[in-house]
Chains A and B, each alone.
Chain A
Amino acid sequence: AQSVTQPDIHITVSEGASLELRCNYSYGATPYLFWYVQSPGQGLQLLLKYFSGDTLVQGIKGFEAEFKRSQSSFNLRKPSVHWSDAAEYFCAVGARAGGGNKLTFGTGTQLKVEL
C-alpha cells in the first residue's frame, strides 16, 4: 500500500526567506506525486504534479518540487516566501495502476510566515 510522510507538522519562515517542505513516499513503483495547498476552511488547490520525465517540476505561485527516486522524496521548494503563502500544504501519492487512481495524503505541514 502507498503511504506519504510529511515529517514537519509546523514550519515558520520569514517573508522573503527560502522554503523547503519535506515529503517522503512509499510505493512499489514510480508513483504519481502531487503537492496541494489548503487555506483555512477551503478545499485544496493543486500546486504541481509529477507523472514522469523531468524530475524537477515547476508549479504555480513560484513553487517547484524535485522527485528523487533514490530518496523516495518529493520535496517542495520556493526561493522567496510571501506572506500569502501561509497555509497548510499536503503531499499526495497516486497509484499508477488501476482505474481508481486514489490519492493518499500526508498529514500536512502548516506553514507560518513571519513578516
Chain B
Amino acid sequence: GAVVSQHPSWVICKSGTSVKIECRSLDFQATTMFWYRQFPKQSLMLMATSNEGSKATYEQGVEKDKFLINHASLTLSTLTVTSAHPEDSSFYICSARTTPGQGVGLNQPQHFGDGTRLSIL
C-alpha cells in the first residue's frame, strides 16, 4: 500500500518551454503532497507544500510563479516548471501523506514517488 506514482520519470526539453510533472497517490487519499528538489549528491530540499483545494505553501526562496503547483484532487498534484532554463535542471521528487484519520494519529510518514529527472538544454 501507499504507492505514489510520479510521471514522467525523465524529461529533456529546450530552454524556455514549460514542463508539467504529475504526482499521484494510487491507493490512498492525500490531502497534502510535498514537492522536493534534489541536486546531485545532495539532500532533498522542500520546495512547497501542496494542499488539496487550496493554494500551495512555498518555502522561502522558491519562486511561486516559476514553479506552479496545482492540487486539484485528493490523488493528484502537479508541478509545472514554467519557462524552464538550464539552471532548473534537477531531480524533482514528490511525496504524499495520508489523510489524517486514515491511519494512526495525525502525523503519518510521507510516501515518495520515484522522482523526475528534468534536463533543460
Say yes or no: A96-B107 contact (C-beta < 8 A), given A43-B4, A43-B113, A44-B112.
yes
Count the A residues whose beta carbon is within 8 Å of the partner chain — how many?
24
Chain A positions 87 through 115: 1 when the CB is less than 8 Å from some CB of chain B, otherwise 0: 00010001010011111111110000000
**Which residues on the A side are within 8 Å of B46 (C-beta)?**
102-104
**Which residues on the B side are within 8 Å of A107 (C-beta)?**
42-43
Give complex CA distance A106, B97 in Å: 20
Contact between B115 and A42, CB atoms less than 8 A apart: yes
Count the B residues whose beta carbon is within 8 Å of the partner chain — how many?
25
A-B contacts, 13 of them at CB < 8 A, read A32-B107, A42-B115, A43-B95, A44-B93, A44-B95, A46-B112, A49-B109, A51-B105, A90-B43, A101-B107, A103-B34, A104-B46, A107-B43
In the A-B complex, list the 6 residue pairs whose CB atoms are closest, starting with the nearest.
A43-B112, A44-B112, A43-B114, A105-B43, A107-B43, A43-B115
